Amino acid sequence: MSLAEPLDTSERSIVAAVARPVTAVGILFAVSASHMLNDMMQSLAPALYPVFRDQYALSFFQTGLITLVFQVTASLLQPLIGLVTDRRPAPWALPFAMGFTLFGLVLLAFSGSYPMLLVAVAFVGVGSAVFHPEASRAARAASGGRHGFAQSLFQVGGNFGQSLGPLMAAFIVVPDGQISVLAFTALAFIAILLLIRVARWQIAHGFVARKGAASHAADGLPRRVVWRSIAILVVLLFSKTFYLASLQSYYTFYLIETFGVSVQTSQVLLFVFLGAVAAGTFAGGPIGDRIGRKYVIWASILGVLPFTLLLPHLGLVGTVIDSIAIGLILSSAFSAMVVFATELSPGNVGAIAGLFFGLSFGLGGLGAAALGLLADHTSLVFVYRLCGFLPAIGLLAYFLPDVRLKRG
């Protein structure tokens, strides 16, 4: 056949198969697993709040301040790191980031004062700030065009790690004491090995930041629409993150004070809630790939409103069931938000990931401290009644444009 002759159907299929991006599933699972280990280690401090509160006689505000130090440390650095690595990708930053987390864990194990606890969680926050933007970029590079699936798989690893943290704390750290945190440094070494593999894959495949390689789903949208849409996404993220912060930081206290459960039982029930968060996170990305991110965001944030309003009025069993529903529905929005924002600003994967992960951490820390202060002056029941109205902000999703990603 000469070069001038047209391709037949079978030949066109072969060419299309060769040109179609391939999903690097092994790399996606490595990134997701490292995210799981990273967030499992990061969740140890919040899981130890009841222990720290008794040991150091902390108020709810001081307890929330621990979260604030971690979240603010991470949130202030993440967008900047993402912006820099968009221009100059740094794959080896991934294992380097885990080194900060490892050092933070060692400090946490040997901390003998409240200020030292704050320093320890600050180091863990720096590790998080370096890890998330570059790991999110690696997940997108390995997605093969299935961006929602890749982001969900990456994020669900983190959510699963967060859910395992309280469980590990309940059965290992709480019974054996603060020094047992050292046992989790082994997880940091495993994560470093996984991230070395990911870094080598990125280098071997010549991964660089190329704006032209990104989807142009946002082409044709005026700049003011893009910025307005990102602003709406940030407000929606505020609604989601503040409410989740109320549960992640104070759900154990609420269960103990309201229903008289033990510390270990409260940690197990926190694990159940965080497991639901992980499941919802995984579902949000693939569903967004099929029906569009806007509709996932709309259904997730506004759709959870009846459940959040109901939570403070239920018994123990009803509270557990309702919290599972809240975790499943509300958590499905985050992956859709990140991919949606990336579609609005093609070529800025690291900056967008850093912005949204950073804001998620920062708003979560601010929410924990603010809600803790409010709980000190009122009650946790009042806090949950007030926070129950936050998902009504989901009405703003109506004003998002209908942007869909075109697979390359």
- pLDDT score recorded for residue 326: 94
- pLDDT score recorded for residue 318: 95
Query: How far apart, in whole angstroms, are the C-alpha atoms of residue 175 and residue 263?
Result: 11
Query: How far apart, in whole angstroms, are the C-alpha atoms of residue 100 and residue 128?
Result: 8
CB 286 within 8 A of CB 332: no
Within-domain flag for 70: yes
What is the DSSP secondary-structure string of 118-137?
HHHHHHHHHHHHHHHHHHHH
Provide the domain limits for residue 318.
23-399
Within-domain flag for 286: yes
Within-domain flag for 163: yes
Contacts of 9 (CB under 8 A, 6+ apart): none
Within-domain flag for 407: no
Write out the two tokens for 39: 């967030």
What is the DSSP secondary-structure string of 220-241?
TS-HHHHHHHHHHHHHHHHHHH
- pLDDT score recorded for residue 210: 47
CATH number at residue 300: 1.20.1250.20
Burial class (CB in 10 A: 0-12, 13-18, 19+), 118: middle
- pLDDT score recorded for residue 386: 93
Q: Tell which residue, 15, 41, 45, 59, has the closest CA to residue 100.
A: 41
Q: Half-sphere exposure (CA, 13 Å, Cβ side) for 272?
A: 16
**What b/e readout covers 316-343, taking b as 16+ CB neighbours within 10 angstroms?**
eeebeebbbbbbbbbbbbbbbbbbbbbb
Q: Max CA-CA distance within the chain?
A: 83
Full-model pTM: 0.67
Within-domain flag for 18: no
Consecutive H or E run containing 359: helix 349-377
Q: What is the pLDDT along the chain (408 residues), one digit of tens a residue?
A: 444 444 444 444 433 434 456 777 788 888 888 888 888 887 777 767 777 777 788 887 888 788 778 777 877 777 777 777 777 777 788 888 888 888 988 888 888 788 898 998 889 888 888 888 888 888 877 877 777 788 888 887 877 777 677 677 677 776 766 677 788 888 888 999 999 988 888 887 765 544 444 444 455 577 788 888 888 998 998 888 889 888 888 899 999 999 999 888 888 898 888 888 878 887 777 777 777 778 888 888 989 999 999 999 999 999 999 999 999 998 888 878 888 887 777 666 767 777 787 777 677 777 877 888 898 889 899 999 999 999 999 898 888 887 654 443
- pLDDT score recorded for residue 385: 93
Within-domain flag for 268: yes
Within-domain flag for 177: yes
- pLDDT score recorded for residue 21: 62
Query: If you ran DSSP here, which 8-state letter would residue 408 be given?
Result: -
Contacts of 377 (CB under 8 A, 6+ apart): none
Residue 378's φ and ψ, nearest 5 degrees, are: -130, -105
What is the DSSP secondary-structure string of 259-270?
H---HHHHHHHH
147-168 and 25-42 are packed helices; what angle lies between their axes, rounded to 10 degrees? 30
Query: How far apart, in whole angstroms, are the C-alpha atoms of residue 16 and residue 277?
Result: 37
Within-domain flag for 101: yes
Query: How far apart, in whole angstroms, are the C-alpha atoms of residue 393 and residue 134?
Result: 31
- pLDDT score recorded for residue 329: 92
Query: How far apart, in whole angstroms, are the C-alpha atoms of residue 269 and residue 364?
Result: 20
> Helix, strand, coil shares of the chain as percentages rounded to 5?
80, 0, 20
CB 173 within 8 A of CB 45: no
Count of domains in the chain? 1
